[in-house]
Amino acid sequence: MTGKDTKRRQNAVAIAYGAGDAAPRVVAKGQGLVAEQIMRRASEAGVFVHESKELVQLLMGVDLDREIPPALYRAIAELLAWLYHIESAQKHGTPMSPPDPTPHLNLDDAANAGISNE
Protein backbone atom coordinates (compact mmCIF):
# COMPACT_ATOMS: atom_id res chain seq x y z
CA MET A 1 0.00 0.00 0.00
CA THR A 2 1.16 3.46 -0.63
CA GLY A 3 0.44 7.02 0.29
CA LYS A 4 0.87 9.14 -2.81
CA ASP A 5 1.53 12.83 -3.21
CA THR A 6 1.09 14.55 -6.57
CA LYS A 7 4.84 14.48 -7.25
CA ARG A 8 5.95 11.10 -5.89
CA ARG A 9 5.27 8.37 -3.40
CA GLN A 10 6.19 9.43 0.09
CA ASN A 11 5.16 6.54 2.32
CA ALA A 12 4.67 2.82 1.83
CA VAL A 13 3.49 0.04 4.11
CA ALA A 14 3.52 -3.69 3.41
CA ILE A 15 1.22 -6.04 5.25
CA ALA A 16 1.20 -9.83 5.35
CA TYR A 17 -1.48 -12.24 6.46
CA GLY A 18 -0.56 -15.88 6.85
CA ALA A 19 -2.77 -18.86 7.61
CA GLY A 20 -1.57 -19.02 11.22
CA ASP A 21 -1.86 -15.30 11.89
CA ALA A 22 -4.63 -13.91 14.07
CA ALA A 23 -4.58 -10.68 12.04
CA PRO A 24 -2.53 -9.09 9.25
CA ARG A 25 0.87 -7.75 10.32
CA VAL A 26 2.89 -4.73 9.21
CA VAL A 27 6.02 -6.30 7.70
CA ALA A 28 7.63 -3.22 6.15
CA LYS A 29 7.11 0.52 6.21
CA GLY A 30 9.08 3.58 5.27
CA GLN A 31 9.32 7.00 3.71
CA GLY A 32 11.18 8.37 0.69
CA LEU A 33 13.80 5.97 -0.63
CA VAL A 34 12.73 3.20 1.73
CA ALA A 35 9.16 3.55 0.45
CA GLU A 36 10.44 3.37 -3.12
CA GLN A 37 12.31 0.14 -2.31
CA ILE A 38 9.21 -1.38 -0.74
CA MET A 39 7.28 -0.50 -3.90
CA ARG A 40 9.98 -1.89 -6.19
CA ARG A 41 10.19 -5.17 -4.30
CA ALA A 42 6.41 -5.52 -4.31
CA SER A 43 6.34 -4.93 -8.05
CA GLU A 44 9.15 -7.42 -8.67
CA ALA A 45 7.32 -10.04 -6.60
CA GLY A 46 4.06 -9.46 -8.46
CA VAL A 47 2.36 -8.15 -5.33
CA PHE A 48 -0.63 -5.90 -5.95
CA VAL A 49 -0.16 -2.32 -4.76
CA HIS A 50 -3.12 -0.35 -3.48
CA GLU A 51 -2.89 3.40 -2.92
CA SER A 52 -4.72 4.89 0.04
CA LYS A 53 -3.10 7.87 1.73
CA GLU A 54 -5.35 7.66 4.78
CA LEU A 55 -4.85 3.94 5.35
CA VAL A 56 -1.09 4.21 4.85
CA GLN A 57 -0.88 7.03 7.38
CA LEU A 58 -2.75 4.92 9.93
CA LEU A 59 -0.60 1.86 9.24
CA MET A 60 2.58 3.94 9.59
CA GLY A 61 1.64 4.21 13.28
CA VAL A 62 1.74 0.42 13.74
CA ASP A 63 5.08 -1.01 14.90
CA LEU A 64 6.91 -3.37 12.55
CA ASP A 65 5.97 -7.04 12.85
CA ARG A 66 2.89 -6.14 14.89
CA GLU A 67 -0.67 -7.09 14.03
CA ILE A 68 -2.90 -4.34 12.77
CA PRO A 69 -5.17 -2.98 15.51
CA PRO A 70 -8.84 -4.03 15.64
CA ALA A 71 -9.87 -0.50 14.60
CA LEU A 72 -8.42 -1.26 11.13
CA TYR A 73 -9.83 -4.79 10.71
CA ARG A 74 -12.79 -3.72 8.56
CA ALA A 75 -10.73 -1.55 6.21
CA ILE A 76 -8.11 -4.27 5.73
CA ALA A 77 -10.77 -6.98 5.33
CA GLU A 78 -12.45 -4.94 2.58
CA LEU A 79 -9.12 -4.45 0.84
CA LEU A 80 -8.24 -8.16 1.05
CA ALA A 81 -11.69 -9.12 -0.27
CA TRP A 82 -11.21 -6.72 -3.20
CA LEU A 83 -7.79 -8.24 -3.96
CA TYR A 84 -9.24 -11.75 -3.82
CA HIS A 85 -11.94 -10.64 -6.28
CA ILE A 86 -9.30 -9.31 -8.69
CA GLU A 87 -7.07 -12.40 -8.41
CA SER A 88 -10.02 -14.76 -8.87
CA ALA A 89 -11.21 -12.95 -11.99
CA GLN A 90 -7.70 -12.89 -13.47
CA LYS A 91 -7.19 -16.59 -12.71
CA HIS A 92 -10.40 -17.55 -14.51
CA GLY A 93 -10.00 -14.99 -17.29
CA THR A 94 -13.40 -13.49 -16.58
CA PRO A 95 -14.23 -9.85 -17.10
CA MET A 96 -14.93 -8.02 -13.91
CA SER A 97 -16.26 -4.82 -12.57
CA PRO A 98 -14.28 -4.44 -9.38
CA PRO A 99 -15.94 -3.30 -6.19
CA ASP A 100 -14.96 0.01 -4.64
CA PRO A 101 -11.25 -0.41 -3.80
CA THR A 102 -11.33 2.35 -1.19
CA PRO A 103 -11.63 0.82 2.25
CA HIS A 104 -14.11 2.38 4.62
CA LEU A 105 -12.02 3.90 7.36
CA ASN A 106 -13.56 4.81 10.67
CA LEU A 107 -11.11 7.51 11.70
CA ASP A 108 -12.92 8.04 15.02
CA ASP A 109 -12.38 4.39 15.98
CA ALA A 110 -8.75 4.63 14.88
CA ALA A 111 -8.21 7.78 16.95
CA ASN A 112 -9.86 6.17 19.97
CA ALA A 113 -7.50 3.20 19.57
CA GLY A 114 -4.53 5.57 19.65
CA ILE A 115 -3.81 5.42 15.92
CA SER A 116 -3.11 8.77 14.31
CA ASN A 117 -3.41 9.54 10.62
CA GLU A 118 -1.22 12.63 10.88
Lowest mean pLDDT among 26-40, 55-69, 91-105: 91-105
User: What are the chain's domains?
Assistant: 2-112 (3.40.1690.10)
- Rounded to two decimals, what is the model's pTM? 0.72
CB atoms within 10 A of CB 73: 14
Band the pLDDT of 5: cuts 50, 70, 90. Answer: very low
pLDDT at 118: 52
Amino acid found at 5: D
pLDDT in tens, 90-113: 888 877 665 555 666 666 655 665
Q: Which of 39, 64, 63 is nearest to 51 (CA)?
A: 39
